[in-house]
Structure 1
Amino acid sequence: MKAAILKTFGSSLVVETLPDPILGTGEVVVDVVVDGVLPYANEVFSGKRKYLLSLPMASAAGAIGRVRSVGPDATRLVVGDWVFCDPTVRSRDDALTPDITLQGLSARGVVCACRSISHHGSFAEQMLVPTENAISIGSIDPEEAGRWCALNLLLVPYGGLLAANLQAGETILISGATGNFGSAGVAVALAMGAGCVVAPGRNEKMLEDLARRFGHRLRTVKLSGDEGEDRERMKQAAPGPMDCVLDILPPSAGTTPVRAAAMTVREFGRSSKTTVLNDQISV
C-alpha cells in the first residue's frame, strides 16, 4: 500500500510503499477514503510538540473509510461498511485506567504496547485498527465522506457537554468559543437543543463568523482581558441565568478567563472543564 511517511522530525513527508496490514483477532483492516489534516500538524511533524512518535511512520489520527476485512471475532461489521476510525486506542487489560495512544499521533506517558500494534495512522491507503475503534456510520454518500471527518473534532466538546448535563432550552457559555474545539462546541451545543449559547473570545473575526453561521441563538462577547468586566459582559449577553459553562480553553490561556467564565454560572448551575493536552483529552 502507498503511505505518506514521516521519517525524521522536520523532514517532508515521503510517499512510499508499505506492507499491507496483516489482520489478526480483534482487528479490522480499513481502506482509508478520506482524512483531515490537523491545524497544528506542522508542529507535530517538525518535532516542536515533542510527541512520542516512533519514526518512521504514517502519521495522522482518525479517518473515514470502508471495511476491507474483519477478524474472526467481529459479528456486526462486514466488508464494505462505512466506518469512522476512532484514533483513541486503549489497552484492554485495565478497564479503569488503560494505557492510551492516539493512533498515528501521540501517547500518554510512556509509549504503550498498543502503539506497536496500531503504529501507522491514516496517511496510508489502509489502516489496521482495533475492532471496537471501527465504528459503523451507516450508508453515506461518498461525496460527503470528507464532511464526516468532523466527527474527530465534534466528539471532544460533546463529551464535555454530556458531563455538564446540558438540557434542551438551557443557556450555556462556552469559554474558548473561537478556538478549534470551542467553535465545534458551539455547533454541538446548538445541535443538542441549547436555547442560547454565549460565545466569548478575543478573535473578532471568528466571533463575527460564528454569529453569521448560527444566528439568533448565539450571543458573542468580545473579551477585554479584565476579569470583572468580562464576567459582567458575559452575564449580560445571556437572556437569563447561565445554566452551565463548558470551559475548553487550552492550558496556555491561564486562569483569568477560566475564572471569569466559571463565575457567570447561576446558583446550582454546572461547569465542565475539557482539557486537550498533547491530544489527550480529559473531562
Structure 2
Amino acid sequence: MKAAVLKSFGTPLAIEDVPAPVLGTGEVIVDIVSTRVISYTNEVLSGERQYALDLPVVPGAGGVGRVRAIGPDATKLAVGDWVLCGPTVRSRDDAIAPDIHLQGVSARGEGGMRLQKYFHDGSFAEQIRVPTENVTRLGQISATEADQWCALGNMLVPYGGFLAAKLQPGETVLVSGATGNFGSAAVAVALAMGAACVVAPGRNETMLAELVRRYGERVRPVKLTGNEADDCARMKRAAPGPIDCVFDIMPPSVATTVVRAAIMTVRPYGRVVLMGGVNMQGGAGLELPYNWIMRECITIHGVWMYPPDAAVRLIALVRAGLLRLDHYETKAFDLDHANEAVAYAAANAGPFSMTMIRP
C-alpha cells in the first residue's frame, strides 16, 4: 500500500509503497478515506516539539474510513462499516493507570514507547491497523462527508476535558485559547453540552467576533491586553455570574501569565482543566497560589486526550443536532501531496479550518 513515511526529523515525508498491515486478534484494519492534518504537524515532523516517535514512522492522528477486516473479538462491527479511528492507544493490562500512545503522533513514557512499537503507524496511508476499541461506528455517511466527520478529532480533545470536569448544563465556562483550532472546538463542545455561557478571551478581535456570529450571544468575547491583573478582571466582568469551569488549551508559545490570568477567574469550588502546552518545551511553570487553591477549594484536572467511550457520546451529540460539523471548511490533498498538506495546515491553522489528506 502507499503511505507517507517520516524517516528522520526535519526531512520531507517520503511517499512510497510499504507492507500492508496484517490483522491480529483484538485489532481492526480500516481503509482510510480522510484524515486531518493537525495544524502543528510540521512542528512534530521537524522535531521542534520533541515528541517521542520511533522512526521511520507513518504519521497521522486517526481518521475516517471503512472497515476492511475485523478480529474475532468484534461482535458489532462489519466489513464496510463507516468508522472513526481514534489515535489514543491504551495498554490493556492496567485499567487504573494505562500507558498511552498517540498512534502516529507521540508516546508517553517507556510503556507508551512499547505500545508504539506495535501500534506503530498512523493514518497518512491507504490502510491503518488499530485496536478494536479505537474504532467507533459512525452510521451511514457518504464519502463526501468523511472530511467533516474528521472534525470529531478536534472536538474529542476538549470533550475529554469537559467530561473530566463533569461540566453540567447551565454552567458558565471560560475557554483559554478560544480563537485557536482546538479552542474554538472547545467553545462549540461546551455549548453543545449545555453551557449557559462561554467566556472567550483572545487577542484576535476578528476571530472573537466570528465566534459570536457563529454561536450567538451565549459566547462572551474578551479582548486581552497582556496585563495579567487587568485581563483577569475583564474576563470576570464578561461572565454573567461566577465562572464554574476554566478550560485551558493554550499552545507552548503562550506566556504563563496569560494562562494564569484565565485560571484565576474560576469561582470558589470551581474546576480548572489543563490540556494545553505550557512548559512543554521547558521554562517557567504556572506558579499558581497554593493558598488560593486550598482555601477556595479549587479542583485542577490535568487531562491528556479523552476516555474510551468519548467518541460514542460525541457522535451522539452530532446525530442529535446539538453539535454541528458544517462550521468547518476543508482543504483536501491526495497522499502524493502530503508534504504540501503539512505546509498548508501550518499556514492555515485558525479555527473552523481543516486540512485533509485523502489516501
Q: TM-score range by the shorter chain?
A: over 0.9
Q: Give CA-to-partner distance per residue, 1:113-169, whole Å, 9 cap, x none.
A: 221221111011011111111111211232111011111111111122122222222
What amino acid sits opposite 2:242 in the alignment?
A: P
Q: Which moved more, 1:18-27 or 1:257-266?
A: 257-266
**Equivalence for 2:24:** 24
Asked if structure 1 preserves the Cα contact closer than 8 Å seen for 2:119 and 2:129, the reply is yes
1:3 equivalenced with 2:7 (yes/no): no
1:213 equivalenced with 2:236 (yes/no): no
Mapped to 1, the partners of 2:5 and 2:158 lie a distance apart of 30
Q: Runs in 1 of length 4+ with deviation above 6 angstroms? A: none
Q: Which has the higher contact order (CA 8 A, sep 6+)?
A: 2
Normalised to the residue count of structure 1, the TM-score between the two structures is 0.92
**Equivalence for 2:63:** 63
Q: Which moved more, 1:200-209 or 1:179-188?
A: 200-209
Mapped to 2, the partners of 1:48 and 1:248 lie a distance apart of 19
Q: Give CA-to-partner distance per residue, 1:173-215, whole Å, 9 cap, x none.
A: 1112122221111010111121111101122232222222222
Q: Which moved more, 1:251-260 or 1:129-138?
A: 251-260
Mapped to 1, the partners of 2:119 and 2:176 lie a distance apart of 34
Asked if structure 1 preserves the Cα contact closer than 8 Å seen for 2:160 and 2:305, the reply is no
Mapped to 1, the partners of 2:252 and 2:37 lie a distance apart of 22
**Equivalence for 1:273:** 274
The alpha-carbon deviation at position 282 of structure 1 amounts to 6.5
Q: Which moved more, 1:178-187 or 1:266-275?
A: 266-275
Mapped to 2, the partners of 1:256 and 1:92 lie a distance apart of 39
**Equivalence for 1:36:** 36
Listed as ranges, the gaps of 5+ residues in structure 1 are none
**Equivalence for 1:191:** 192
What amino acid sits opposite 2:116 in the alignment?
A: R
Mapped to 2, the partners of 1:157 and 1:48 lie a distance apart of 24
1:263 equivalenced with 2:264 (yes/no): yes
Listed as ranges, the gaps of 5+ residues in structure 2 are 282-302, 307-359
Asked if structure 2 preserves the Cα contact closer than 8 Å seen for 1:275 and 1:281, the reply is no
User: What pairs up with 1:139-178 in 2 under 5 angstroms?
Assistant: 139-178=140-179
Aligned partner of residue 57 in structure 1, secondary structure:
coil
Asked if structure 1 preserves the Cα contact closer than 8 Å seen for 2:176 and 2:249, the reply is yes
Mapped to 2, the partners of 1:92 and 1:270 lie a distance apart of 30
Mapped to 2, the partners of 1:45 and 1:282 lie a distance apart of 20
Mapped to 2, the partners of 1:140 and 1:250 lie a distance apart of 33
**Equivalence for 1:247:** 248
What amino acid sits opposite 1:105 in the alignment?
A: V
Asked if structure 1 preserves the Cα contact closer than 8 Å seen for 2:2 and 2:16, the reply is yes
Mapped to 1, the partners of 2:305 and 2:129 lie a distance apart of 26
User: What pairs up with 1:66-105 in 2 under 5 angstroms?
Assistant: 66-105=66-105
Asked if structure 2 preserves the Cα contact closer than 8 Å seen for 1:25 and 1:72, the reply is yes
Asked if structure 1 preserves the Cα contact closer than 8 Å seen for 2:26 and 2:73, the reply is yes
Mapped to 2, the partners of 1:103 and 1:210 lie a distance apart of 31
Aligned partner of residue 35 in structure 1, secondary structure:
strand
What amino acid sits opposite 2:46 in the alignment?
A: S
* Percent of aligned pairs with the same amino acid: 62
Mapped to 1, the partners of 2:47 and 2:134 lie a distance apart of 27
Q: Which moved more, 1:267-276 or 1:115-124?
A: 267-276
Mapped to 2, the partners of 1:49 and 1:247 lie a distance apart of 19
Distance 1:47 1:271, change over 3 A: closer
Mapped to 2, the partners of 1:92 and 1:169 lie a distance apart of 36
Distance 1:282 1:153, change over 3 A: closer
Mapped to 1, the partners of 2:212 and 2:94 lie a distance apart of 44
What amino acid sits opposite 2:23 in the alignment?
A: L
The alpha-carbon deviation at position 234 of structure 1 amounts to 1.0
Asked if structure 1 preserves the Cα contact closer than 8 Å seen for 2:232 and 2:264, the reply is yes
**Equivalence for 2:15:** 15
Normalised to the residue count of structure 2, the TM-score between the two structures is 0.74
**Equivalence for 1:113:** 114
The alpha-carbon deviation at position 57 of structure 1 amounts to 2.1
Cα RMSD between the aligned structures? 2.0
What amino acid sits opposite 2:171 in the alignment?
A: E
**Equivalence for 1:232:** 233
Q: Give CA-to-partner distance per residue, 1:231-273, whole Å, 9 cap, x none.
A: 2211211122222222222455344233322332333333332
Distance 1:214 1:227, change over 3 A: same
Aligned partner of residue 78 in structure 2, secondary structure:
coil
Distance 1:43 1:272, change over 3 A: closer
Mapped to 2, the partners of 1:74 and 1:195 lie a distance apart of 40
Asked if structure 1 preserves the Cα contact closer than 8 Å seen for 2:157 and 2:305, the reply is no
